[in-house]
Amino acid sequence: MKSSLRLFLALAFTTTLFTLNAQEQSYKVGLIGFYNLENLFDTIDTPDVRDTEFTPTGSKNYNYRIYSEKLENMSRVISDMGTNLSPDGVALLGVCEVENRDVLEDLVVQPSIAGRNYQIVHHDSPDERGIDVGLLYNPKYFTLTGSEAHPLIIYEQDDVTRNFTRDVLVVGGEYDGEPMYILVNHWPSRSGGEARSAPYRNAAALLCKNLTDSLRTANPSAKIVIMGDLNDDPTSPSVDDMLAAEGKVKRVRKGGLYNPMLDFYRKGIGTTAWRDAWSLFDQIIISDNWLNERQEGYRFYQAYIHNPNYLVQKTGHFIGYPNRTFTGDKYLGGYSDHFPVFMAIIKPIE
């Protein structure tokens, strides 16, 4: 399954490029992506946050050298994503598992991506581990008009103790003059078991659905992108039922959502692995108005999982998995335990 993953993605890229070049019509191409940065922490022990392991005196011996290598590795991946489709790479990139705004500021000035002048949207979340979501955007393509963090209010099994987790970050703006909203997510984990934790992710999906419906009402012409590490697969009840995200374009109704990641999942292709099984937790889901080829402006073209050879673990217990930063407290010097995802959008050039 691991070798077939690489083969399929290579074919997917080849087919897409051929289709674009074979058409007489010329297009503008834009890229929108998401990446779980796997515990991008600074080295400072922050009070009231469970980040001690990511400090020089913590269990991981997380020092400035490791932090610097982590930043360099993350920026390398971001610099590579989709550059065969657009030389400027991803114009919008949602991220998760970042400790604070400071680490994002350190990330965007890394030499490999500094020239893109990425700007940052970030709000501190109440997550107990101190990890947040954020959005990087290239101001050459995207103009920010506003952002807001929407808390996910969920409770433990006793219905009294609040489970503090990541907010849903809603970012509004214009992409090349067209109104757009991006919802960046990192839904509750499967800690305690998939079934026991499922209600938390169902609640996150319902929050996204309600936010999306409100945004549609306020601005019907705006296109919407829901992205994130959902800790669920495209066929999980949270995505399939609560969001009602369809995996086939022809089944998407007016006002509905389309999930281009479902086709990958059905072929056994994932973004993260556990106990020798692939999951596709990292997803991009879009509103129906991305799909109309007859309308003016940008439309959805293709979704991708970015997994070049250097992002795949070559040896050890996790061979074939995403090339991660740590296994337990052992530093591996890798990238992330998730592959990033992105989608291409196109607009005819008159």
Interval 92-134: pLDDT, tens:
999 999 999 999 999 999 999 999 999 999 999 999 889 999 9
Could you tell me if 289 and 179 are in contact, meaning their C-beta atoms sit under 8 angstroms apart?
no
Which residue in 277, 248, 227 sits closest to 5, CA to CA? 277
With a cut of 80, say whether residue 3 has pLDDT above it. no
pLDDT computed for residue 2 by the predictor: 37
Predicted pLDDT of residue 10 = 34
Q: Is the CB of residue 300 less than 8 Å from the CB of residue 27?
A: no
Place of tokens 């114009």: 91
Choose from 15-29, 37-51, 65-79 the range with maximum mean pLDDT: 65-79
DSSP-derived secondary structure letter, 233: -
Confidence band for 23, pLDDT divided at 50, 70 and 90: low
Check residue 49 and give left, alpha or beta (phi > 0: left; psi -120 to 50: alpha).
Answer: beta
Q: Beta strand 132-137 with 142-150: parallel, antiparallel or unpaired?
A: unpaired
Judge contact between 341 and 303, C-beta under 8 A.
yes
7, pLDDT greater than 70: no
CA triple 69-74-75, angle to 5 deg: 100
In DSSP terms, which residues pair with 168 in a beta bridge? 150
**pLDDT (mean) for 299-323:** 95
Q: Residue 329 phi/psi, 5° resolution?
A: -100, 5
pLDDT digits (tens, 9 = 90+) for 194-221: 999 999 999 999 999 999 999 999 999 9
Question: What top-level class would CATH report for the domain 2-348?
Answer: alpha beta
Residue owning tokens 């929050």: 207
Q: What is the pLDDT of residue 12?
A: 37
pLDDT tens digits, 74-97: 999 999 999 999 999 999 999 999
237-279: pLDDT as tens digits: 999 999 999 999 999 999 999 999 999 999 999 999 998 899 9
From 169, 161, 108, 97, select the one nearest 130 (Cα to Cα).
Answer: 97
pTM: 0.93
In this predicted structure, the answer to whether residue 14 has a pLDDT above a threshold of 60 is no
H helices present in the chain, as ranges: 2-22, 64-80, 101-108, 194-218, 237, 262-266
Listed by start position, the domains of the chain span 2-348
